[in-house]
Amino acid sequence: MTMVNLTINGKQIQAPQGATILEAARGAGIHIPTLCYHPELRPEGACRLCMVEASGARTLVASCVYPVSEGMVVNTNTNKVREARKTVVELLLANHPKDCLSCQKSGDCELQKIAADLGVRKIRFDGGERKAHTIDCSNPSLVRDQEKCILCGRCIRVCRDVQGMSVYSFARRGFDTIVAPAFESDLKDAVCTYCGQCASVCPTGAIVEKDDTEKVWAAINDPSKVVLVQTAPAVRVALGEELGIPAGSIVTGKMVAALRRLGFDKVFDTNFSADLTIMEEGHEFLHRLQNGGVLPMITSCSPGWVNMIELKYPELLPHLSTAKSPQQMFGAVAKTYYAEQAGIDPANIVCVSVMPCTAKKAEAEREEMCASGYRDVDVVITTRELGRMIREAGLDFAHLPEEAYDSPLGAGTGAAVIFGTTGGVMEAALRTVAEVVLGEELANVDYHDVRGMEQTREAVIKVGEVEVKIAVVHTLASARKMLERIKDGTADYHFIEVMACPGGCIGGGGQPVPVNSEIRRMRREALFECDRASELRKSHENPEIKQLYDTWLGKPLGEKAHSLLHTHYSAQKR
Amino acid sequence: MSLTERKCSCCGCDNPEKVQVDAILAKFEGKKGSLIPILQEVQSLYNYLPKDVLEYVAEQTRIPISEIYGVVTFYSLFHLNPRGRNIVRVCQGTACHVRGGKLILQTLEKELGIKAGHTTDDLRFTLETVACIGACGLAPVMQINDDTHGRLTPDKLPAILQRYE
Looking at the complex, does the CB of residue B65 fall below 8 Å from at least one CB of chain A? yes
Q: Give the model's pLDDT for residue B4.
A: 67
Q: Give the model's pLDDT for residue A139.
A: 97
Look at residue A495 and give its three-state secondary structure.
strand
Does the pTM surpass 0.90? The reply is yes
A vs B: CB pairs below 8 A: 33
Chain A interface disruption, residue of B5, B35, B66, most A CBs within 10 A = B66
Q: How far apart are the first and last CA of chain B?
A: 30
The reply to whether A301 belongs to the active site is yes
Going from the C-alpha of A352 to that of each of A234, A237, A264, A320, A413, the distances in angstroms are 16, 19, 9, 26, 21
Domain with CATH 3.10.20.740 in chain A: 3-77
Run of H or E residues at A53:
strand A51-54
DSSP A76-123: SSSHHHHHHHHHHHHHHHHTS---GGG-TTTTT-HHHHHHHHTT----
The reply to whether A484 belongs to the active site is no
Could you tell me if B158 and B91 lie in one domain? yes
- On whether ipTM exceeds 0.85, the answer is yes
Q: What are phi and psi of A80, to 5 degrees?
A: -60, -45
Could you tell me if B129 and B107 lie in one domain? yes
Q: Give the model's pLDDT for residue A512.
A: 98
Torsion of CA A492, A311, A503, A204, to 10 degrees: 160
Could you tell me if B67 and B105 lie in one domain? no
CA distance A179 to chain B (A): 9
Could you tell me if B90 and B55 lie in one domain? no
Looking at the complex, does the CB of residue B73 fall below 8 Å from at least one CB of chain A? yes
Is the pLDDT score of A263 beyond 60? yes
Contact (CB<8Å) B65/A171: no
- Chain B residue numbers with beta carbons less than 8 Å from the beta carbon of A181 are 66
Of the residues A281, A385, A427, A544, only one is catalytic, namely A281
Q: How far apart are CA A507 and CA A515, in angstroms?
A: 7
Task: Please check whether the domain covering A214-565 is classified as CATH 3.30.465.10.
Answer: no
What pairs with residue A352 in β-bridges?
Answer: A229, A379
Could you tell me if B96 and B157 lie in one domain? yes
Question: Which residues, at least 6 apart from A87, have a Cβ–Cβ distance to it below 8 Å?
Answer: none
Is the pLDDT score of B69 beyond 90? yes
Q: How far apart are CA A193 and CA A352, in angstroms?
A: 22
- Chain A residue numbers with beta carbons less than 8 Å from the beta carbon of B68 are 182
Summarize pLDDT for A285-294 with one digit per residue, the tens: 999 999 999 9
Answer whether residue B109 is part of any domain. Answer: yes
Could you tell me if B103 and B152 lie in one domain? yes
Contact (CB<8Å) A171/B74: yes
Is the pLDDT score of A436 beyond 90? no
Q: How far apart are CA A69 and CA A6, in angstroms?
A: 7
Answer whether residue B5 is part of any domain. Answer: no
Confidence grade of residue B14 (pLDDT, cut at 50, 70, 90): low
Sign of CA dihedral A256, A257, A262, A264: positive
Residue B91 Ramachandran class (φ > 0 left, ψ -120 to 50 alpha, else beta): beta
Is the pLDDT score of A364 beyond 90? yes
The reply to whether A321 belongs to the active site is yes
Question: Which residues, at least 6 apart from A93, have a Cβ–Cβ distance to it below 8 Å?
Answer: A111, A115, A120, A123, A126
CA–CA–CA angle A291, A294, A298 (5° rounding): 120
Total domain count for chain B? 2
Q: Give the model's pLDDT for residue A445.
A: 85
Summarize pLDDT for A477-521 with one digit per residue, the tens: 999 999 999 999 999 999 999 999 999 999 999 999 999 999 999
- Chain B residue numbers with beta carbons less than 8 Å from the beta carbon of A167 are 66
Q: What are phi and psi of A336, to 5 degrees?
A: -120, -80
Residue A213: exposure state from Cβ atoms within 10 A (0-12, 13-18, ≥19): middle
Q: Give the model's pLDDT for residue A463.
A: 84
**Domain extent for B70:** 16-74
Could you tell me if B124 and B64 lie in one domain? no
Contact (CB<8Å) A160/B51: no
Q: Give the model's pLDDT for residue A126.
A: 84
Within 13 Å, how many C-alpha atoms sit on residue B137's CB side?
0
CA distance B73 to chain A (A): 5
Q: Which of A166, A172, A173 sits opposite B66 (nearest CB)?
A: A166
CA distance A65 to chain B (A): 23
Of the residues A315, A368, A392, A454, only one is catalytic, namely A368
Answer whether residue B23 is part of any domain. Answer: yes
The reply to whether A427 belongs to the active site is no
Answer whether residue B153 is part of any domain. Answer: yes
Contact (CB<8Å) B69/A170: no
Question: What number does CATH give the domain A3-77?
Answer: 3.10.20.740
Contact (CB<8Å) A171/B69: yes
Q: Give the model's pLDDT for residue A497.
A: 98
Of the residues A36, A47, A64, A301, only one is catalytic, namely A301
Average pLDDT of A533-551? 96
Could you tell me if B93 and B140 lie in one domain? yes
Q: Give the model's pLDDT for residue B58.
A: 97
Residue A97 Ramachandran class (φ > 0 left, ψ -120 to 50 alpha, else beta): beta
CA distance B87 to chain A (A): 22
Is the pLDDT score of B2 beyond 80? no
Summarize pLDDT for A437-488 with one digit per residue, the tens: 888 888 788 888 889 889 999 999 988 888 999 999 999 999 999 999 999 9
Spatial CA neighbour of A419 closest among A300, A254, A268: A300
Is the pLDDT score of B10 beyond 70? no
Average pLDDT, chain A: 96
Return the higher-pLDDT residue of B26 and A446: B26
Answer whether residue B3 is part of any domain. Answer: no
Look at residue A344 and give its three-state secondary structure.
coil
Sign of CA dihedral A539, A540, A544, A549: positive
Spatial CA neighbour of A232 closest among A426, A2, A511: A511
- Chain B residue numbers with beta carbons less than 8 Å from the beta carbon of A160 are 64
Look at residue A278 and give its three-state secondary structure.
helix
The reply to whether A149 belongs to the active site is no
Looking at the complex, does the CB of residue B51 fall below 8 Å from at least one CB of chain A? yes
Average pLDDT of A145-162? 97
Sign of CA dihedral A185, A189, A191, A196: positive
Look at residue A351 and give its three-state secondary structure.
strand
Average pLDDT of A411-435? 95
Q: Give the model's pLDDT for residue B12.
A: 52
The reply to whether A310 belongs to the active site is no
Q: Which of A124-133, A272-281, A463-472, B10-19 has the largest mean confidence?
A: A272-281
Of all residues in chain A, the percent with pLDDT exceeding 70 is 100
DSSP B76-99: TT--SSPPPSEEEEEE-SHHHHHT
Q: Give the nearest chain B residue to A166 (CA atoms).
A: B64
Q: Is residue A270 within 8 Å of residue A334, measured between CB atoms?
A: no
Summarize pLDDT for A65-115 with one digit per residue, the tens: 999 999 999 999 999 999 999 999 999 999 999 999 999 999 999 999 999
Could you tell me if B49 and B101 lie in one domain? no
Q: Give the nearest chain A residue to B74 (CA atoms).
A: A172
Domain with CATH 3.30.70.20 in chain A: 104-109+124-206
What helix, strand, coil percent values describe chain A, rounded to 5?
40, 15, 45
CATH code of the domain covering residue B124:
3.40.30.10
Could you tell me if B63 and B97 lie in one domain? no
Q: How far apart are CA A472 and CA A302, in angstroms?
A: 13
Question: What number does CATH give the domain A104-109+124-206?
Answer: 3.30.70.20
Could you tell me if B124 and B66 lie in one domain? no
Summarize pLDDT for B73-118 with one digit per residue, the tens: 999 899 999 999 999 999 999 999 999 999 999 999 999 999 999 9
What pairs with residue A496 in β-bridges?
Answer: A298, A471
CA–CA–CA angle A318, A319, A321 (5° rounding): 95
Is the pLDDT score of A124 beyond 80? yes
Answer whether residue B143 is part of any domain. Answer: yes
Q: How far apart are CA B64 and CA B68, in angstroms?
A: 7
Q: Which of B64, B73, B74 sits opposite A166 (nearest CB)?
A: B64
Summarize pLDDT for A204-262 with one digit per residue, the tens: 999 999 999 999 999 999 999 999 999 999 999 999 999 999 999 999 999 999 999 99
What pairs with residue A474 in β-bridges?
Answer: A499
Average pLDDT of A262-289? 97
Q: Is residue A288 within 8 Å of residue A294, measured between CB atoms?
A: yes
Q: Give the model's pLDDT for residue A129.
A: 83
Please, where are the H alpha helices in chain B?
16-27, 35-46, 51-61, 65-74, 94-98, 101-112, 157-162
Could you tell me if B63 and B91 lie in one domain? no
Domain with CATH 3.40.50.1780 in chain A: 214-565
Within 13 Å, how many C-alpha atoms sit on residue A530's CB side?
29
Q: Give the nearest chain A residue to B58 (CA atoms).
A: A182
Question: Which residues, at least 6 apart from A454, have a Cβ–Cβ distance to it below 8 Å?
Answer: none
